[in-house]
Structure 1
Amino acid sequence: MAFGVATAATFVGWYGPLQVLLAKQAEVVGGAGKETVLAVVAAVGAACSMVANPAWGALSDRSGRRLPWIIGGAVGGAGGLVLLGTATSTAGMIIGWAVVQIALNAPFAALSAVIPDQVPTDRRGRIGGWFGLAQTVGIIAGTGLALSGGTVLSGYIACAAAVVIGSIPFTVIASEHVPDRQSTKVTMTPDFRWAWATRFLINLGNAIALLYLLYYLKDEVRLPDPDSGVFLLTAIYAAALLSTVVAGGVLSDRVGRRRVFVCAAGLIMAAAAVLLAAWPTWTGAVMAAVVLGVGFGAYTSVDFALVTEVLPTAADRGKDLGVINVANALPQVLAPVAAAPLVALGGYPMLYAVAAVVGVAGSVLVFQIKTVR
């Protein structure tokens, strides 16, 4: 329970800004150039995350500790959120979001490594499902907290408080079982690289699709209250995700297969992007949220279990999971680079069509992994 709360708290710190606050702040700072401001801020933050996650993971490996990195990163991330909330320029937003991304990757790297540290291989689908469920709770809570205060600054402060408070129980009551350091150096395996590529492409497709969701609802769907629309879609997505996030992991454990689940889930997620491209209405957006939630739920649990089975060495789990998590962060860097010109060239239909194609490519690549069924 405490592990789930700490995970959820970390995702509050990320997704309160990503779902609502950064877009609203960029609109104030950038005006008509809001898309560019948001793209730049998101890209720089994701670049920081890409470097920070494996670095924090390696430090937790070498220190033989996970817990200090969880509480320390939470406090640093909360400070970054408050700093970000006071930003009145693009540069200020970039600095604040960079601090948040760097700091919050410390608890995320440590929490990710706790699972292979302490959970047997044949139960990692189930536990990966609960890990994904906690992330989803964090996304919902972060979105709600971002909208709760009425102002951008109050939203950031609410998220900052949740990040710190949520991290405390686990760091107080948890025990640590970090593997001893090994003297031999193990290089990355081909299956590790394929697992990275699969995750990268599926996450890139999602990042391209979701970056401009607020603007999509406002400018394409022409929803009168796009802020509330984002929150409602997030809640619908989360409810759909709950139906598969644990069940998918449990079923994967029982049948002893990972790849077919990852592929099927990725294809379902790509179908959500197709819906957004072909059906730019509120009803279409709601249906896409349902489809995306169903797909992402199964994907989250099973892909995490698959990844833990291709890690090169137990002693470097934190670092290696950090390298894998670059496949989550790098798409956040590349998505703004791709999304802005796609919208300018072909509008939102082209944006979501490209997102679907990228997601399909990632889904089929999983079968290049040979040591996991």
Structure 2
Amino acid sequence: MSEQLAAQPAGERQHLRFMLLYALAAAGGAMAYVPFLTILLPVRVEAMAGGQHVSWLAYCAFAGAVMASLSNVLFGWLSDKTGKRGLWVAAGLVLTCALLPAMALAEGLPALLGLLVAWQLGLNMMLAPLAALAGDFVPDRQKGFLGGLLSLAPAMGAASGVLVTIPGLAGPDTRLALVAVLVAACVLPLLLFGRPRAFPELMASVPRREGPVDPRPRQVVVRMWIARLLVQIAEAALFAYLYIWLRSISGRIEDNDAAQVFGVVLFLAVPATLLVGRWADRANRPILPLAICAAVTGAALLGMAGAADLPLALTGYAVFGLASSIFLALHSAQTLRVLPRPQHRGRDLGLFNLTNTVPSLVMPGLTLAMVPVFGFGGLFVVLAVLVILAAALLFSIPRPE
């Protein structure tokens, strides 16, 4: 991909073709894990484990998160060192698409965990360099628009879950193969036809400074990291247990119903994120929308904690899903703005990716400690407190000059 670049004058914007193909590839990345982790894996575990499905899901989340944490940093660093991000994306795509259908071979928890760990390795071989590509080729003046486009990823991931769980379309094993085909169809166009414009300022190495260093940029990075971690703890809990929580309120909810709820909320977030992202670009207020969305997410969790029937639960989740989706998409884009050294972009994004994976290490223990004693309502109150703290951290970040 990089061999076809030509330097552009200052003020140029990345062309729309690359932006759209990148958004499609990011959507393919989401398709690789959203339907599997939210619907297909819980349904398979429920069928395999019976009454132990909550603890089995906790074990799966823990093992997968450990491998995802390590492999994302590793492959981000390797893509920095080699400068061949496209090759790493392609290799990860092959492994991901091969291992998804292999999940059907698992007959017990050890085999399922082994396949899950191997799949996470391949998945993050694809996702880590793919994330760094946006930092390599999208200038700061388009970061809000990039965030809006990135909101397509979870929506398309949810849509793939709706598609593969249509009753009568495919059996449990065939669903995994269908997901693999969808992932390849979305990621390959970027690798084959991306041809992004080059922006030398995005790739210029920043040397380490000697003597006193202004601490404010580092403080912004730390606050951004902690805020996303806190929001992602809440997101991870709903990501893994949305289906089970809805089933606890109404036994009439089926796997396809849960996928539809998840998908509708995420698709509503797409136009909202595009509008908010474009406003953030024009007003030069990259952090303010993040703070507001975090505050709304916390309020929605409090509403979900008190939901006693299905309509209230779905309304609370709709607000939660909308606000948190806008937050996560815009945060991913604005993170590229604050990272200090382009030559370590892949590695640093891998460290930021810990905010996506560490919650899966925290969430199982938190869920197992809270839900049996206090129910999901008690869990949601704790999550609301964490997310409101995230909002406070983001409101404390000064406006850029």
Contact 2:285 2:399 (8 Å CA) reproduced: no
Question: Which of residues 201, 222, 242 is equivalent to 1:213?
Answer: 242
The answer to whether structure 1 residue 142 and structure 2 residue 161 are counterparts is: yes
Contact 1:237 1:292 (8 Å CA) reproduced: no
Q: CA deviation at 1:118?
A: 1.2
Q: CA deviation at 1:241?
A: 0.8
Residues 243 and 278 of structure 1: is their aligned pair in 2 closer, same or farther, counting only changes over 3 Å?
farther
Question: Which of residues 74, 93, 97 is equivalent to 1:78?
Answer: 97
Q: CA deviation at 1:42?
A: 1.2
The answer to whether structure 1 residue 87 and structure 2 residue 106 are counterparts is: yes
Q: CA deviation at 1:185?
A: 4.8
When the two structures are aligned, how many residues end up with a matched partner? 372
The answer to whether structure 1 residue 314 and structure 2 residue 334 are counterparts is: no
Question: Which of residues 223, 240, 262 is equivalent to 1:194?
Answer: 223
Residues 191-200 or 128-137, more deviating: 128-137
Matches of 1:87 and 1:146 in 2, distance apart?
20
Question: Which of residues 364, 376, 398 is equivalent to 1:336?
Answer: 364
One-letter identity of the residue aligned with 1:349? G
Match of 1:171 in 2: 191
Q: CA RMSD in A?
A: 2.2
Contact 1:277 1:352 (8 Å CA) reproduced: yes
Map 1:258-277; keep pairs closer than 5 Å. 258-277=286-305
Q: CA deviation at 1:239?
A: 3.0
Residues 33-42 or 359-368, more deviating: 359-368
Residues 74-83 or 136-145, more deviating: 136-145
Map 1:99-138; keep pairs closer than 5 Å. 99-138=118-157
Q: What secondary structure, in the 3-state scheme, does the structure 2 residue paired with 1:225 have?
A: coil
Structure of higher CA gyration radius: 2
Q: CA deviation at 1:281?
A: 2.0
Percent sequence identity is 22
Residues 269-278 or 134-143, more deviating: 134-143
Match of 1:154 in 2: 174
Matches of 1:48 and 1:270 in 2, distance apart?
29
The answer to whether structure 1 residue 362 and structure 2 residue 352 are counterparts is: no
Contact 1:77 1:100 (8 Å CA) reproduced: yes
The answer to whether structure 1 residue 257 and structure 2 residue 285 are counterparts is: yes
Contact 2:136 2:203 (8 Å CA) reproduced: no
One-letter identity of the residue aligned with 1:174? G
Matches of 2:164 and 2:71 in 1, distance apart?
26
Contact 1:146 1:159 (8 Å CA) reproduced: no
Map 1:239-258; keep pairs closer than 5 Å. 239-258=267-286
Matches of 1:367 and 1:271 in 2, distance apart?
16
Match of 2:44 in 1: 25
Residues 335 and 372 of structure 1: is their aligned pair in 2 closer, same or farther, counting only changes over 3 Å?
farther
Q: CA deviation at 1:6?
A: 1.5
| Unaligned 5+ runs, structure 2 | 1-19
Matches of 1:249 and 1:181 in 2, distance apart?
26
Residues 253 and 153 of structure 1: is their aligned pair in 2 closer, same or farther, counting only changes over 3 Å?
same
Matches of 2:158 and 2:72 in 1, distance apart?
19
Residues 56 and 368 of structure 1: is their aligned pair in 2 closer, same or farther, counting only changes over 3 Å?
farther
Matches of 2:170 and 2:361 in 1, distance apart?
29
The answer to whether structure 1 residue 289 and structure 2 residue 317 are counterparts is: yes
Question: Which of residues 232, 235, 260 is equivalent to 2:260?
Answer: 232
Normalising by structure 1, we get a TM-score of 0.93
